[in-house]
Amino acid sequence: IYAMMRDVMDALTQCVLDAGGAIINYAGDGMAAMWNAPLDQADHAQRACRAAIAMQAAMPALNDKWAERAGMPLKVGIGINSGEALVGNAGSRHRIKYGPMGHAVNLASRVEGATKQLGVSILITDNSEQLIGDEFLLREVCEVRVVGIQQPAAVFELQDQQVKAMWRRNKEVYENALECFCARQFNECISMLERVMETTGFIDDRPSLLLSLWAHEGLEGNPEEFDSVYNLDVK
């Protein structure tokens, strides 16, 4: 198991280094990285997104090598957030760790956890979305409220420009359905999602399934009291 983890972390670490990032920490089967420190990087958000895309691109080869021994497909969920952080040396005189602390770091960690619940491989926050320009494709998934942070954050699925044309078409329908959902037009939202899931093979798209579920819940309750923000109750 350690040989497999070392091989996977080697590949993912190289993606970070190739994009000019710095490794903060390894913890179990996870890792954390940052950009724009110790040296300024004007395109830090784009670099983080490039690293995330490269990580996902590395997974098929890693699965070919290790999935049989692992007994299941290997997957990686990635959360990206941009913001101010306090960066420096923490620890003790026996062991020092250089890295960031603060709200922006906590939110990135929570968004990484949200990839499992929302069924999306790479999620970025609106803080990062505002910085990356048009180099990548994005689908707005929803607004989330994460554990320990009261202020909601919009999260976006990140894809590179090579994504299939079907994803592009379904993205438009999904975002229109999300707009209806946020406007409490639940029947319209459900109708859009059912149509796209039935006709385009998007039936296994977890965000679509979840949004349809939330819209049904909205129909059953009081629309005026319905909260369109998805509360993530686990880290």
Name the average pLDDT for the chain.
92
Q: Are 171 and 197 in contact (CB under 8 A)?
A: no
Q: Is pLDDT at 234 greater than 80 in this prediction?
A: no
The lowest-confidence range among 52-61, 107-116, 195-204 is: 195-204
- Give the residue-averaged pLDDT of 100-118: 95
Please report which confidence band the pLDDT of residue 52 belongs to, taking 50, 70 and 90 as the band edges.
Answer: very high
- Give the residue-averaged pLDDT of 167-180: 91
The lowest-confidence range among 18-22, 170-174, 210-214 is: 170-174
Prediction pTM value:
0.93
Please report the pLDDT score of residue 203 as a whole number.
Answer: 66
Show contacts of 70-77: CB within 8 Å, 24+ apart: 70/4, 74/8, 75/121, 76/12, 76/121, 77/112, 77/113, 77/115, 77/116, 77/120, 77/121, 77/122, 77/123
- Give the residue-averaged pLDDT of 128-151: 93
Please report which confidence band the pLDDT of residue 84 belongs to, taking 50, 70 and 90 as the band edges.
Answer: very high
Please report the pLDDT score of residue 109 as a whole number.
Answer: 94
- Helix locations, 119-220, DSSP H: 126-129, 165-182, 186-200, 206-220
Q: Is pLDDT at 192 greater than 70 in this prediction?
A: yes
